[in-house]
Structure 1
Amino acid sequence: AVFRKAIANDQQYFYSRQAGRLMATPSVGDADVEVFGQLARETAANVDGFLGQLDGASLKGATRLLASARRVRVHGVRQFHSLASFLTYCLGMVRSDVALLDAPRLGVAEALSQLEPGDVVIVASCAPYTRSVAEVGRVAAANGQSVIAITDSRSSPLVPPAEHAFFIPHASSFYSNSMGAYIVFCEALLNLVARELGDKALNSLAGRERLIAEMNIEVG
């Protein structure tokens, strides 16, 4: 109890506080199944939360940038590295020259130096924010790149340099940041980009399918 009180309002202990809430939740009925049910309901509430904040003009602007930019680079670290990888893979299915910002691990400064004005950098992070991701957004914008931020609130440090910012809640009983609503948002945004690309997206997908078949990658 003393430990929980000490960390209750300290952002440094975000994960411990989340885990403490999880452990303090009483088990009722089939407790194992209820863990799934609770998280599913919380994710649905987070999806409703971002739907209520969507701006049509910003969605159109981001969609056009992602469809037309010469290069797109995606940056997220720690837990958001998984989201960055997901975005990179799926966007790369429908257009060319999409990559993680620092895929070769040569450093973000080197990676940003390879970009030109008009290229797009997507940055993703939520509280507790990763300082280096916010810095990448700031430097990219100053370097002439169009920055798209996927974050959690208007007070996020990723917002000031962003041309377009989208706000995804992550409140849940998960001991870390809940990513379910982030994935739903990204899937919908990717659908908009595919629709914007039209035949180009279809041709890209067909070319990928041909290579998958030629290399006998998939099973049955």
Structure 2
Amino acid sequence: MSNSQQVFDAWLAGDLTTDACRNALSHDPVWRARFETAAQLQQLARQPDYPPVPQVDTSSMFRQQWGHKTPATTSWWPRLSVGMSALALVISMSPLSLQVQNGGIALRWSEVDPMEMQLQVQQQVAAQLASYKTEQQQYLQTQMQRQQQQQASQLILLKDYLTEAEQKNRRGDMLELVEYLNQQRQADWQYWQDNVQPTQARLNYSPDNRINRQN
């Protein structure tokens, strides 16, 4: 392996700067041309310049998405709220009344107008339905926000993966192209040494050329 090829390989491996490689190959026009071609290819491979991907804690996202998940626990507060509302509705519908007489407490069944009782029941049912509807809307809105955040995180992960994969593919293609050009140049150089140089030498030392030189 020639010294010029070692310098070129060191530059490809990143152990030598571009200016240092250009100066080291200034005496060898063949390897200097190969170096300039590879440098232009590297410059083209760096375009376009993508903006940096924001820092994301990918490990925690993957654990949340595909890791071990604890069973979802249901909050006891909604159940207690519904139970207390049902109890209040039953008490309000019953004709039970509480009275305090002579320092004592007495429970009595009082007579209630059926129309008035039906109206109260309808009002309380409507209030409970409105409260339940509000709670459901809030719950759905919260779930929608969580889903949007999860989708945004997955898109960031996908963009990071595609950017990294594209950079690796570009580097691999560039190295393959440089290797192909090197092989073509070596084949041309070998052909010149095997065919052109001997032919030129025979022409220079032919009898006609000798006579012309003597004249």
TM-score normalised per structure 2: 0.23
Rg (Cα) greater in structure: 2
User: Which structure's residues are more often strand, by fraction?
Assistant: 1
Which one has more relative contact order, counting CA pairs under 8 Å at least 6 apart? Answer: 1
User: Which structure's residues are more often helix, by fraction?
Assistant: 2
